[in-house]
Chains A and B, each alone.
Chain A
Amino acid sequence: AQSVTQLGSHVSVSEGALVLLRCNYSSSVPPYLFWYVQYPNQGLQLLLKYTSAATLVKGINGFEAEFKKSETSFHLTKPSAHMSDAAEYFCAVRDRGTTPLVFGKGTRLSVIA
């Protein structure tokens, strides 16, 4: 069975600082991996996806994530945090297309001025 672990339920960074949100997955087959962002009172918006092409994936709003098979990780980074990045971030996995997503517990990102 697949699972996702997001280390840190809450991460706080200063504006302009590096953002690093951690995600480790468990899957018996090459996974499809996703990061979604949830702003307050809104739905889940896709940030980026990994589907076995390039291991470094670029997404929206300056975010990117690197797939590391040896570490079973898919950490999300952004070089310089902006106040508008404050939100809940979810890592998700599935083993092939058209199957349900398995989500991590989420990491709440706070950005301090």
Chain B
Amino acid sequence: EPEVTQTPSHQVTQMGQEVILRCVPISNHLYFYWYRQILGQKVEFLVSFYNNEISEKSEIFDDQFSVERPDGSNFTLKIRSTKLEDSAMYFCASETGGNQPQHFGDGTRLSIL
């Protein structure tokens, strides 16, 4: 069964550094999402992406965040200058559209030191 693939599985970064989290959505999916889960808290929506542009974003998704689909297969989340509070598990999800569910990757655990 096709899967959403995320790399790396764990990223350790110094505060203030830029980090890029990578996702390969399922190939025929058109809608892409990033969520995060701070340890012990609920999964929170960050941003959705369709037709090469952001379709919706949460208040968490401030100017430090950006997303890109650089080559038609990868979907990336960039954090420009990381803060301690960015430490979390980041999940990528994709879907075909309509009433179909979102499919999630295994996540990237981001640790900011």
Contact = CB atoms under 8 A, between A and B. Distances in A.
Nearest to B48: A100
B45 A101 contact: yes
Given A43-B107, A44-B91, A103-B43, A98 B97 contact: yes
B42 A105 contact: yes
Contacts of B55: 98
B101 A49 contact: yes
Interface string B85-102: 000000101010111111
A99 B56 CA distance: 8
Contact of B41 (A32, A51, A101, A105): A105
Contact of B104 (A32, A36, A102): A36
What is the interface residue range for chain B against chain A? 20 to 34
Given A97-B98, A97-B99, A104 B45 contact: no
A46 B33 CA distance: 16
Contacts, number: 59
A63 interface: no
Given A43-B104, A45-B104, A104 B48 contact: no
Contacts of B91: 43-44
B48 A46 contact: no
A36 B50 CA distance: 23
B31 interface: yes
B45 A102 contact: yes
Interface residues of A, number: 23
B50 A98 contact: yes
B99 A32 contact: yes
Contact of B101 (A46, A99, A104): A46
B83 interface: no
Interface in B24-72: 31, 33, 35, 41-45, 48, 50, 55-56, 58
**Leading 4 A-B pairs by shortest Cβ distance:** A100-B45, A43-B106, A44-B104, A103-B43
Given A41-B106, A49-B101, A106-B42, 5 more contacts: A44-B93, A46-B103, A98-B55, A98-B95, A105-B41
Interface of A: 32, 34, 36, 41-46, 49, 51, 90, 92, 97-106
